[in-house]
Structure 1
Amino acid sequence: MLTAHCKGLPLRETIGKIDVMRLKSLRRQPYRAGFLQMGAYVLAGLWAGLRLIGRWQPDVIHVHFAVPAGALAWALSRLTRVPYVLTAHLGDVPGGVPEKTGKWFRWIFPFTRPIWRDAKRVVAVSGFTRGLALRYYGSWLRCHYRAPIEVIPNGVDLKALDPGELRANVTPRIVFAGRFMEQKNPLALVRVLSQLQDLRWQCVMLGDGPLLEETRREIAARGLADRFTLPGWVTPQEVLDWFRRSDLLFMPSLSEGLPVVGVQALAMGLAVVASRVGGFVDLVNDGENGSLHEPSDEDGMAESLRRLLSDNGSLKSGYHKRDLLRARQCSRELARKFDLTEVVRAYDELLREAAVP
């Protein structure tokens, strides 16, 4: 596995049966990479990839994200004739995260077409991502097996993430997990929860990013410092530990592919209140394990949270009178369709087909 190196991580390690090689690419932060870092990664990956392919002779290359990693896979495939499978997430597709990548795609879009055109197979992690990709690249795709773009979601190991017996906390605990950036809309979360100061709740916001300090200031300005915990960047295991102690995932994102934290939240039995964007549509059965709202509908989000959190979470009309605990149980049941076993089976079949000349 080739990936970018970040400070504090080894350049090479073996995880299970996977040999991980981290390439120096001038990247300083795990949650941010500019054009310089992306270009450095592609150049470093080209040299490392050619050596690896020459030594190991793989049957197929599997690349995540059309940009920048897709450019590396395309170049390696052209030089070695090894086919590649592309998995698109969201930010690598025009229109996926317009507030972050809109300006970039205005001038790099023509150069991304060959990446999609020459892929042996193309996968999207959600129906939303698939729709965007077809809109912008559908006429360029050559791969037409069962479908030009197949949907295989991000998966989780349900056995490893078993939360045990689900119990709602007396003081409900809300969790946010993601980069503190415009796409994740962390300031909206603070505004929404400020409408619920008459209720009992605690919120932890996991992650780091350019909006972290502004979020801290917003929390303080609204007199909510005693309600929030912001530990900063945390490890994947720490995310799961926080999920295990929480009741509800609140993500007012402006855009999403299929967020891994959302799938993990289902597996850990968390109710979900989120924006009606991207892959969240696949994670929430509205009124059963939570609710979905337009990103601009902060009042609607507040009302849904009030219904879940009031009197330890009694859900009123429109929510089938399910309480917070029942919503959590529904999430755990819904998580079954994201079981890693099925995701692995789907990729195994697809990669075997792609390896056939």
Structure 2
Amino acid sequence: MSALRVLQVSAFFPGHGGGIEAVAGALAARMPAAGVAMHWMAGGPREEWPASWPGVTVTAEPAWDPLERRLGLPFPVWSPAALMRLWRRVGEHDVVHAHDFLYLPTLAAMLFAALRGRPVVLTQHIGDIPFRSRRAHRLLTLLNRSLGAFVLRRVAQAVFVGLPVQRYFERFVRFRRPVCLVPNGVDHSLFHPPQTPPTGELRLLFVGRFVEKKGLRLLHHCLDLPGASWTFVGSGPLEPPAGPQLRLAGRLGPQQVADAFRTADLLVLPSTGEGFPLVVQEALASGTPVLVSTEVFEAFPGVDERCVFHVELRGATPEQALCERLQQLLGDPDRLRSARPAAAELARQWNWDATVQRYVDLYRDLAPAASHLLKSS
């Protein structure tokens, strides 16, 4: 059986620091062993481009992004020459796999696939984001209900990584075929519990982009709570203010992120509008309990409340709700540290091999029509 030719398109590479591109990178790393010849196209600043990706052909494109700093909504713009290269690549592959519709590169890839008769697998990671700015929220809602609904109705296969985003779009989208819920996997060889659990002062950890949907504005109100220190891993426009109990670690490589999880007592990620953040799974696999929004908590396919704590942030005072929940947890250190075995056990349900196989099955199901078109083109 010849290798499937799959073109994967994401807005950025993992160097950008977001979960979507980290998932794209994890899939790309494992596709060659699954019999898939993958070509990965993405963009962003040159300093974020990978030198290579084992087993995968990579095309990196420069991008201009005028909106992320102003609205917290990244929208990288590719040049006409880059879009022409994307057009050619679409025609050379059996299946196009796009990550999230709300980016120019992925929108162009899906348009080109429709024009060239190539099936599209669209993994939609993000749904509604309750921006503080009413203008930004209205814009995103309009885009989701117009452009998003249009795209999701027409792709060959829509995939979601968490139930909240799936249910959000199911309210107003009629899909061509039943949607698939495919949770992200975890690399258990990298993310595993420490031999010696942390002791001493409690350590709180945030990992992700410093943007509104990750809850950065809410966290800014909780940085002076007594009884704990903070470490922030990542970068972005909403950088936390410096303080004696706060360390900004910047962007870290996978091994350093795994080490940060193992030395933390609690991952705090009050994000909204996300399917099921990968860093939550990786923290649990490292034996670190998590505090997430109730919205993310509801996305868990199987949950253990001994290690997955949640707070309702959809009320009138989310800042107060988050601070009060953190104070409760910080007041019971033994509860946090006794949660580590349950966290590691819960994470065993996620496996990248199983996730990759789900996608390969989808590719193979969709590829026969594309193969016929390729022979006649």
Q: Partners in 1 of 2:254 and 2:89 — Cα distance?
A: 28
SS at match of 1:192: coil
2:123 to 87, 104, 111: 87
Structure 1 residues 326 and 36, CA, compared in 2 at 3 Å: closer, same or farther? Answer: closer
Letter in 1 for 2:99: H
Matches within 5 A, 1:201-350: 201-212=228-239, 215-216=240-241, 225-278=243-296, 281-282=299-300, 285=303, 287-295=305-313, 296-298=317-319, 301-310=322-331, 313-314=333-334, 323-350=335-362
Do residues 22 (structure 1) and 52 (structure 2) align?
A: no
Ranges in structure 1 where 5+ consecutive residues have no aligned partner: 220-224, 315-322
Deviation of the 1:153 alpha carbon: 1.2
Deviation of the 1:182 alpha carbon: 2.2
Do residues 65 (structure 1) and 86 (structure 2) align?
A: no
Letter in 2 for 1:249: L
Instruction: Give percent identity, aligned residues only.
Output: 27
Structure 1 residues 307 and 114, CA, compared in 2 at 3 Å: closer, same or farther? Answer: closer
Q: Partners in 2 of 1:226 and 1:130 — Cα distance?
A: 41
SS at match of 2:206: strand
Matches within 5 A, 1:98-177: 98-99=131-132, 100=136, 102-106=138-142, 109-137=145-173, 139=174, 141-143=175-177, 148-165=178-195, 167-177=197-207
Residue equivalent to 2:45: 6
Structure 1 residues 332 and 211, CA, compared in 2 at 3 Å: closer, same or farther? Answer: same
Retained in 1: the 8 A contact 2:160–2:180? yes
Do residues 38 (structure 1) and 76 (structure 2) align?
A: yes
Structure 1 residues 149 and 257, CA, compared in 2 at 3 Å: closer, same or farther? Answer: same
Do residues 78 (structure 1) and 114 (structure 2) align?
A: yes
Deviation of the 1:18 alpha carbon: 1.3
Q: Partners in 2 of 1:35 and 1:163 — Cα distance?
A: 34
1:278-334: CA deviations, max 9, x gaps?
Answer: 3664188463103111124555544544454346x13xxxxxxxx323312211111
Structure 1 residues 35 and 173, CA, compared in 2 at 3 Å: closer, same or farther? Answer: closer
Q: Partners in 2 of 1:284 and 1:299 — Cα distance?
A: 28
Deviation of the 1:263 alpha carbon: 1.4
SS at match of 2:268: strand
Retained in 1: the 8 A contact 2:63–2:78? yes
CA RMSD of aligned residues (A): 3.0
TM-score by length of structure 2 reads: 0.75
Structure 1 residues 157 and 46, CA, compared in 2 at 3 Å: closer, same or farther? Answer: same
1:69-127: CA deviations, max 9, x gaps?
Answer: 4422322212321111110001xx4x345555531442684344442222111100101
1:211-249: CA deviations, max 9, x gaps?
Answer: 21xx31xx6xxxxx2211123344444322321221210
Deviation of the 1:189 alpha carbon: 2.3
Ranges in structure 2 where 5+ consecutive residues have no aligned partner: 1-39, 370-377
Most deviating of 184-193 and 225-234: 184-193
Structure 1 residues 235 and 97, CA, compared in 2 at 3 Å: closer, same or farther? Answer: farther
Residue equivalent to 2:26: none
Structure 1 residues 108 and 188, CA, compared in 2 at 3 Å: closer, same or farther? Answer: closer
Letter in 1 for 2:95: V
Q: Partners in 2 of 1:34 and 1:304 — Cα distance?
A: 26
Retained in 1: the 8 A contact 2:289–2:336? yes
SS at match of 2:172: helix
